[in-house]
Chain A
Amino acid sequence: MGKTVLMQGNEACVEGAIAAGMRFYAGYPITPSTEIAEASAVRLPQVSGKFIQMEDEIASIACAIGASTTGVKAMTATSGPGFSLKQENLGYACLAEIPLVVVDVQRSGPSTGLPTSPSQGDVMMARWGTHGDHPMIALSPSSVKETYELAVRCFNLSEKYRTPVIFLMDEIVGHLREGIEIPESVEVINRPEPEAYHAKDLAYHIAEGELVPKMAPFGKGERYNITGLLHDASGFPTNNNQIAGELVTRLMKKIEANYEDIVQVEEAHLEDAEVAIYCFGGTARAAATAMEEARKKGIKCGMFRPITIWPFAERELLPVTRKVKRIVVAEHNYGQMVHEVRRVAGDHCEVKFVGKVDGTVITPQEILQKIEEA
């Protein structure tokens, strides 16, 4: 077992990333994510990694994408305003199948909003912020310890599926300090690569029965092209409708077909629950206390927390909606995930919403009120 240390969520993100193999960080500081840049600047040179502060958020993600093409595990971090700017290149990384971790420590928006107050208003942007049909994986931590663990997982999923992964943090957890035990080692997954670099290998060739290309790092093996245009196996643009359709379908399928591997949820006290709180990220802390308070009052209350925000954990949520009488969705926004929950719940249970857009934190009492409401 490792040693217990005190750490801030943002610092734990960097430590987890480094444990997973991050050796490149490019970013443009913005609260409440700035400590991720600061800690990366200190820690990366210590592990022979590189840190660079770019001129803006767009350049930062572009720089991280460039580093990743050469085989280096790369990350960039920002908050809402910067996350908006990164969307175009996020789609580029999805299509070009470049592993990358993009951290968004959410703050109140829209625009530059309310620096630096807690928010979870970027949930839908994490899924659909970049245009076109694209796969997306996003994870959301609710403690400092989990921030460390999920930072590792973000890299592992990104590498395994050669796709950008969003680490959707929030101010509550990013700035929270807790004691955590740093594990001595973690499971690390590296991106699929060809067994040897042959000049004849086509970079985007997909082996029979597989969904992820085994690409050589850029500069090794066959000369290939990286583009934001739909492309063939050599990476060069194509207008061939069959190839185009197959490519976009495969990109979606590579995440859909691996749902079981990607989606994680935490369920608490759902066995006998009549009411369930749906929550994620930092809000789960208020929800946990609300659940305890409800139980003390004799209300059979449970909690459903998606750890993987995208893909949406509907397979796990479905049986819950068929069992409980009411789901209380608590999220720090005007109502985003609540629509997904309503879609899955249909007419099978009542869905109530607790949200906040004034920059203050949702309290356990506010959730409890919705649990008890007639």
Chain B
Amino acid sequence: MSLEEAWEAAVIAGKQTAQSQSYGPEARGGSCKAEVIISDEKIGFTKVQHPTFLMALTQKSLDTYGQNLPEGCLVLIDDTLTAPAALNGYRVVKLPILRTAVEKVGKAMTANIVAVGAINGLLKFVSNEDLKSAVFLHIPKGTEAINEKALNEGIALVEGA
């Protein structure tokens, strides 16, 4: 649930937010989704109806959720994935998120934090400083260095692109 940190950062930055996610066996492994709304105004309906951004890290989730997106929705996917025909005409950004986690950060499980950096690099909805504070609220003690590296590598994926 890498969007969680991004959303926590939005709270730190003083915005209205609402998050919900798949609940069931799939949340423990499988194709699951998390939905986040970030707004300057009070949030009514808490489910995302017209996404402006979608991130998918597996082919299955991209095939499932990369359908019927509204015009103008920005799509971020891992560069190992193939964008389905339904995404023709959309702006699809492919970044080596999974590979960066393994090769540059040195731990596959940091992919979510790499993704958080990449998301903010693309959307720039909070300062990198707020983003770092949010990530630090969610990680076990003693893992600050590797998570900061993952975050910075994620930001660099966009800024270096």
Contact = CB atoms under 8 A, between A and B. Distances in A.
Given A4-B11, A6-B8, A288 B45 contact: yes
A32 B49 contact: no
Contact of B49 (A5, A6, A177, A363): A363
A115 B24 CA distance: 8
B45 A285 contact: yes
* Range of interface residues on A (Cβ < 8 Å): 20 to 34
Interface string B14-58: 101111110110000000000000000001111101000000000
A4 B10 CA distance: 11
B19 A176 contact: yes
Contacts of A364: 44-45, 49
B19 to A, nearest CB: 4
Nearest to A287: B44
A316 interface: no
Interface string A286-315: 111100100000000000000000000000
A178 B45 CA distance: 12
Contacts, number: 55
A199 to B, nearest CB: 54
A130 interface: no
A53 interface: no
B44 A178 contact: no
Contact of B23 (A31, A282, A289, A363): A31
Nearest to B34: A177
Main secondary structure of the interface of A (DSSP, over half): mixed
Given A176-B18, A177-B19, A179-B16, A285 B8 contact: no
Given A175-B23, A177-B19, A178-B18, A286 B11 contact: no
Nearest to A7: B11
B122 to A, nearest CB: 22
Contacts of A285: 43-46
A6 B7 contact: yes
Contacts of B7: 6, 177
Contacts of B23: 31-32, 116, 171, 175
A288 B43 CA distance: 9
B46 A292 contact: no
Interface in A257-275: none
A172 interface: yes
Nearest to B20: A176
A363 B18 contact: no
B7 to A, nearest CB: 7
Contacts of B24: 115-116
A110 B49 CA distance: 29
Given A288-B44, A364-B44, A179 B11 contact: yes
Nearest to B41: A292
A31 B28 CA distance: 14
A285 B21 CA distance: 16
Contacts of B43: 178, 285
A52 interface: no
Contacts of B45: 285-286, 288-289, 363-364
Which of A177, A287, A363, A364 has most chain B Cβ within 10 Å? A177
A248 interface: no
Nearest to B16: A179
B8 A172 contact: no
Nearest to A171: B23
A175 B44 contact: no
Contacts of B19: 6, 176-178
Contacts of B47: 361, 363
Contacts of A286: 44-45
B82 to A, nearest CB: 30
Contacts of A361: 47
Nearest to A144: B18
Nearest to B12: A4
B30 to A, nearest CB: 15
Among B23, B43, B46, residue most surrounded by chain A Cβ atoms (within 10 Å): B46
A361 B45 CA distance: 10
Contacts of A363: 45, 47, 49
A361 B44 CA distance: 14
The 9 A-B pairs with the shortest beta carbon distances in the complex, nearest first, are A289-B44, A288-B44, A179-B11, A289-B45, A177-B19, A286-B45, A285-B46, A364-B45, A285-B45
18 contacts: A4-B11, A6-B7, A6-B11, A6-B17, A6-B19, A32-B23, A172-B46, A176-B18, A177-B4, A177-B17, A178-B17, A178-B19, A179-B16, A286-B45, A287-B44, A289-B45, A363-B45, A363-B49
Interface of A: 4-6, 31-32, 115-116, 171-172, 175-179, 282, 285-289, 292, 361, 363-364
Given A361-B47, A363-B45, A364-B49, 10 more contacts: A6-B19, A32-B23, A116-B24, A171-B23, A176-B20, A177-B20, A286-B44, A288-B44, A288-B45, A364-B44
